[in-house]
Amino acid sequence: MRVLVTGKGGVGKTTVASALCAALADAGVDVVAIDADSSPNLALSLGGGHPDGLPAVANLTPPRAADGCDSDPLAAPEIIERYAVATRVGVPLVQTGRIERPSQRCLCCGSHATARQVIAALPGDERQLVVSDLEPGLNDLLWAKPGPGDVVVAVTDPSQKALEVTRRTLSIARELGVTRALVVANKLREDEPEVVRAALPDTQLVEVAYHPALDRSTPDGQRPGEIRLLARRLAAEGD
């Protein structure tokens, strides 16, 4: 099963993805984490070391044609063997690509094409859960082409901008035939759960309170209780 974690920048996608991975691993689930962000940082949260010191698929596989958008297709075992790194929470992590310098290749190429390929090559199965931490916004989600077998986790905070991105995410997920989409409403203070519920009626919500300790920190190994519950639900669905 693939779990795609998406949302506006800064809402806590990486925090949620890492907490989810850690909680799933705690529950004995076979999990693989993918950092599909071209400015990756999931490694910091999973305890895998500094992201810039780790391998990234696109940075190690040059494009096939000098002016083309595609590199050679990758096979799942090769990705895991060659590029996955171990992390302290016990979940192997694959970084898809890191933008290190300017290029004349267009925005759809390079790390994005690779992210697309890696996410497609690792579909998971009933025993293995693949959790992808996507780039901010909606582009990656469109390219990942989720379908009925996948779970879309849209992370939001109570700001109207993030909620607007979430509304569009849910609408696009429906359009693509995703039947399992849920929203993690993150960083909620006092009366803000109401703001989110009003903005996203008829939506499966996981509400996570604002944790001052998580604000502007790298949440190494943190697992908020709400995310533990979500992990248990996902683990049960996989069975």
Partner 1 sequence: MMRCDTELLRSEVTYSPAKEGYRLVSIRVALCGKGGVGKTALATMLCGVLARAGRRVLACDFDVNPGLDHSLGSLDANGRLPSQAVLEQPGSQYGFALHPELSASEAVQRFAARCGEGIRLLSLGAIGSAHHDLAITHYAVRQVAASFDEPGWDVVVDMEAGTKDLYDGSYIAFVDLAVLVTDGSPIADLTCRRLAAIARAQQRPPAGLVLNRADAVRTEQARQLARDLDVPFLGAVPEDDAVRQADVAVAPLAPHGATAAAVGVLAQRLREQCARAATQPPVRRQQGERS
Binding residues (CB under 8 A) for partner 1: these are: 8-11, 14, 37-39, 41, 44, 51-52, 65, 67-70, 98-112, 135-139, 142, 158-161, 164-165, 168, 171-172, 175-176, 192, 195, 216-218
CB of 87 to partner 1, least distance (A): 16
The span from the CA of 79 to the CA of 99, in Å, is 19
Residues in the chain: 239
Q: How far is the CB of 58 from partner 1 (least distance, A)?
A: 12
Triad 130, 24, 183: Cα angle to 5° = 75
Q: Which helix (H) or strand (E) holds 56?
A: none
Minimum CB separation of residue 53 from partner 1 in Å reads: 12
User: What does each C-alpha distance from 142 to 14, 22, 25 come to in angstroms?
Assistant: 19, 26, 28
Beta carbon nearer to partner 1, 32 or 109: 109
Of the pair 103, 127, the CB lying nearest partner 1 is at: 103
Between 22 and 235, whose beta carbon lies closer to partner 1?
Answer: 22
Q: 78 or 177, CB closer to partner 1?
A: 177
Residues 6+ apart with CB under 8 A from 139: 112
Minimum separation from the CB atom of position 24 to partner 1 (A): 22
- As measured in angstroms, the least distance from the Cβ of 4 to partner 1 is 14
- Beta strands per DSSP E along the chain: 2-7, 30-35, 93-95, 128-133, 151-156, 180-188, 205-209
Half-sphere CA count of 122, side-chain side, radius 13 A: 33
| SS3 at position 139 | helix
Question: Which of 40/238 has CB closer to partner 1?
Answer: 40
- Beta pairing class for 205-209 and 2-7: unpaired
Asked if residue 126 lies in contact with residue 238, where contact means CB atoms within 8 angstroms, the answer is: yes
State the minimum distance, in angstroms, from the CB of residue 172 to partner 1.
5
Q: Which is nearer to partner 1, 91 or 135 (CB)?
A: 135
Residue with Cβ nearer partner 1 (77 or 201): 201
Kindly state the smallest distance separating residue 80's Cβ from partner 1, in Å: 26
Report how far residue 239's alpha carbon sits from residue 44's, in angstroms, rounded to the nearest whole number: 30
